[in-house]
Amino acid sequence: MTANEIHLVKYSWSVVERIDPVVAGGIFYKRLFETAPYLKPMFSESIPVQSKKLMAMIGYVINRLDKLDTILEDIKQLARRHVKYGVQEEHYELVGAALIWTLEQALAALWTNEVKQAWANCYGLLSSAMLQATAEAPQRA
């Protein structure tokens, strides 16, 4: 990611963070389950609880986006936990699409092609790191 893309992602996230995490996360999960209802059983916690966790994790990563090497192990551990929940490679695309859609709704007029591309690159980078970590992890039978 370029320095400008990191700036765009961080700035736009600072706007999204002002939204109640239960509301913002709820919008994300509503969209995800509309597009992929078969994923809903993978979530054992209530959507409000899951929403808070989602928003906190995204915030954690975005706030360190310019120092990704400092959180790479956290990202790998997150990916390995997701494998235990049944997350598969094709789910990353669905989650990415729901995230981009949610950000577009939340940012409204601030959502430009440049911001969209920055977020797409950000999600691509992070999801690639997570997929690589799952490929490196020992597989369970």
Averaged pLDDT of the chain: 91
Which residue has better confidence, 14 or 73? 14
Q: Residue 136: its pLDDT value, please?
A: 76
Q: Taking 90 as the threshold, does the pLDDT of residue 33 lie above it?
A: yes
DSSP designation for 117: H
Predicted confidence band of residue 139 (pLDDT cuts 50, 70, 90): low
Q: How much of the chain exceeds pLDDT 70, in percent?
A: 96
What confidence tens digit (pLDDT) does each residue in 38-86 have?
999 998 889 999 999 999 999 999 999 999 888 888 888 888 888 788 8
Query: What integer pLDDT is reported at residue 138 of this predicted model?
Result: 58
Distance, in Å, from the CA atom of 34 to the CA atom of 87, rounded to the nearest integer, reads 18
User: Which residue bears the tokens 């995490």?
Assistant: 21
Average pLDDT of the residues in 11-38: 96
Angle at 24 between CA 9 and CA 39, to 5 degrees: 100
Q: Where are the alpha helices (DSSP H) in the chain?
A: 3-16, 21-35, 47-63, 72-84, 89-107, 113-136
Is 123 or 84 the better-scoring residue by pLDDT? Answer: 123
pLDDT > 90: what percent of the chain?
71
